[in-house]
A = this chain, B = another copy of it.
Amino acid sequence: MTEAEFLAALRTLPLHEGARDLRDDCALIEIGSETLVINHDTMAEDVHFRPEADLADVAWKLVAVNLSDLASKGAEPVGIILGHSLGGNDLQFVKGLREVMLAYNVKLMGGDTIAATGASTYAITAIGRATHKPVPSRMGARAGESVFVTGTIGRAMLGFEGQSGHLAAFDRPFPRLAEGRALAPHVGAMMDVSDGLLLDVYRLARASEATIALDSEKVPVADPSRRAELLRWGDDYELLFTLPPNREPPVAATRIGTVEARGPAPLVLDGRPMTEQQGLGYQHG
């Protein structure tokens, strides 16, 4: 069963209002005047990292991708909870954990340890505190808004291929926490780019019940000769967001498209309507 089919099955369960119908990246819990933002991401051997990977890098990336989801909500990290399967180079994993925790001032809150028999699996639940309400979501894009992305797309793919100068982009991505907090009060919609820019734009448009017209030539990519690939590969952890017309973003970002009223396709790529997600990025299952 595919991820989309599984999500459809999960949507038949009793959902918490903070689940946002499972259409967003994080769960929200309102407590008094505070909103907690909670995210859960898993990395599995052979799926998300190679068996020979340095587990210090794996630990860094696992925490970073969780923090990237918090960043897309404008949340500041409170702590992380670890689900860890023993049996790899566990001390190296703790080394990477220490490095990323110190880099982002994140504290360990608890965890669970299992003795895995097969491929290792590591999971992080990241807990953050919203710095602005309403908390940004994928659903907020409105016709007329401009679409922006931070940073450069495709560095992770080049790093994965072993290109020096881009290795860290794949192994040790930087979550855009400061940018997310600066953007939260201004954006229509916001999400992080994890599964490929085109797929994530498609998803943001669909969640907002809008269409996004994207000018792919405008997207800053790490190697323009491989633009089509880089726009689909993912693992970028940049922020994708919309702003009202003529509003300048408060952080470094590039305007790459426009939100339009909902048309037949969620994404119009250089004038071509894309009605299917197929071929736009990385899909699980």
Q: Which residues of B contact A252 (CB under 8 A)?
A: none
Q: How far is the CB of A238 from chain B (nearest CB, A)?
A: 20
Query: What is the chain B residue whose CB lies nearest that of A80?
Result: B16
Say whether B119 contacts A40, CB under 8 Å.
no
Q: How many copies does the complex hold?
A: 2
Which partner residue on chain B sits nearest A26 by CB separation?
B110
Question: Is there contact, CB below 8 Å, between B101 and A14?
Answer: yes
Q: Which of A65-86 contact B (CB under 8 A)?
A: 78-79, 81-86
Instruction: Kindly list chain B residues whose C-beta atoms are within 8 Å of the C-beta of A6.
Output: 84, 86, 90, 94, 113
Is A42 interfacial (CB-CB < 8 Å)? yes
Whether A118 sits at the interface, judged by CB under 8 Å, is yes
User: For A34, what are the chain B residues with a Cβ–Cβ distance below 8 Å?
Assistant: 31-32
Residue from B111, B118, B284 within 8 A of A10 (CB atoms): B111
> Interface residues of A toward B: which range?
35 or more
Interface flags for A249-285 (1: CB within 8 Å of B; 0: not) read 0000000000000000000000000000000000011
Alpha-carbon separation in the docked complex, A22 to B14 (Å):
32
Complex: A116 Cα to B38 Cα, angstroms:
23
Contact A110 B27 (CB under 8 A): yes
Q: What are 15 A-to-B residue pairs whose CB atoms are below 8 Å? A: A3-B113, A10-B82, A13-B97, A14-B108, A15-B107, A16-B79, A16-B108, A29-B36, A31-B31, A38-B125, A40-B82, A45-B118, A81-B125, A115-B284, A125-B125
